[in-house]
């Protein structure tokens, strides 16, 4: 069973449908006990980093998620949920994340080529970095996934499972032991996205 953390940001209906489409029973919850006892956990998120991090702390779920990660069970952060896994973000100020993957979240603005649109919105290729992450076992280098983001993770190459090319190498997927993150939306990335979710469910 997959447990999706509900901490009051964004809509989780499509995400739930996508796990169900790969045959997983899925629960959306803010219940600390259910989260702590989950077999595998998904941290979603849309919107601004500061607001989301605050909501996670206000609900006390930040500690529940970090405790969960310490048990070694699989955790997947998606989009802003992935960004929250890092140490900190510089989106409108400076905010602390969960510190489960070393690195920080920085804006495209001022870093990418001037002619490129911000956010990066659309389909781009995954360029697998280093040894293939187990969540990519059903997909290939160069497969397309769907991105919508204005900030990205700056981290050491060893924590990057895949880059994407947006005028520069941009972290598309990250990992640190049992903690995984996708900057793109696997639930909106067609068959490739579903194949990634399926692989996550087999960890």
Partner 1 sequence: MLTKRIIPCLDVRDGRVVKGVNFDGLRDVSSPIELAEFYSDSGADELVFYDITASYENRALFTDILCETAKKVFIPLTVGGGINTVADFERVLSCGADKVSVNSGAIKNPALIGEAAKKYGDQCVVLSVDAKRVDGKYRVFARGGREDTGLDALEWIKRGVDSGAGEIVLNSIDTDGVKRGFDTEMLEAVTSIVNVPVIASGGAGCIQDFVDLFRKVPDVDAGLAASVFHFGEVDIKELKRELDKNGINVRLNKEKLL
Q: Which of 149, 175, 187, 201 is catalytic?
A: 187
Stretch that binds partner 1, among 56-64, 90-98, 99-107, 113-121 (CB under 8 A): 113-121
Binding mask 134-173 for partner 1 (x = CB under 8 A): ----xx---xx-xxx----------------xxx------
The closest alpha carbon to 52, from 13, 17, 98, belongs to 98
Catalytic residue check, 17: no
User: In the bound complex, what is the minimum distance in angstroms from residue 18's beta carbon to partner 1?
Assistant: 6
Catalytic residue check, 185: yes
| Cβ nearer to partner 1, comparing 175 with 198 | 198
Rounded-to-integer distance, Cα 75 and Cα 121, Å: 25
The closest alpha carbon to 153, from 105, 111, 119, belongs to 105
How many CB atoms are closer than 10 A to CB 92? Answer: 12
| Cα–Cα–Cα angle for 136, 198, 57, rounded to 5 degrees | 90
Catalytic residue check, 201: no
Give φ, ψ of 89 to 5 degrees: -130, 145
Give the catalytic positions in this structure: 79, 185, 187
Q: Which residues bind partner 1 (CB under 8 A)?
A: 11, 13-14, 17-18, 20-22, 46-48, 117-124, 138-139, 143-144, 146-148, 165-167, 185, 187-195, 198
């Amino acid at each position: 069973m997959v447990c999706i953390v509900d901490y009051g940001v964004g809509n989780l209906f499509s995400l739930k449908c996508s796990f169900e489409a790969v045959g997983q029973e899925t629960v959306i919850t803010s219940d600390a006990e259910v989260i702590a006892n989950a077999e595998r956990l998904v941290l979603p998120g849309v919107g601004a980093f500061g607001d989301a991090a605050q909501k996670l702390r206000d609900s006390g779920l930040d500690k529940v998620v970090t405790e969960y990660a310490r048990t070694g069970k699989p955790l997947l952060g998606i989009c802003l949920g992935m960004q929250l896994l890092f140490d900190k973000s510089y989106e409108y100020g400076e905010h602390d994340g969960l510190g489960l993957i070393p690195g920080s979240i920085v804006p495209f603005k001022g870093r990418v080529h001037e002619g490129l649109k911000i956010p990066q919105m659309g389909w781009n290729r995954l360029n697998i970095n280093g040894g293939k992450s187990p969540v990519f076992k059903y997909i290939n280098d160069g497969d397309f996934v769907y991105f919508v983001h204005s900030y990205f993770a700056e981290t050491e190459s060893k924590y990057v499972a895949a880059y994407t090319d947006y005028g520069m190498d941009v972290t598309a997927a990250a990992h640190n032991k049992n903690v995984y993150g996708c900057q793109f939306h696997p639930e909106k990335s067609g068959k490739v996205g579903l194949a990634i979710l399926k692989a996550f469910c087999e960890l």
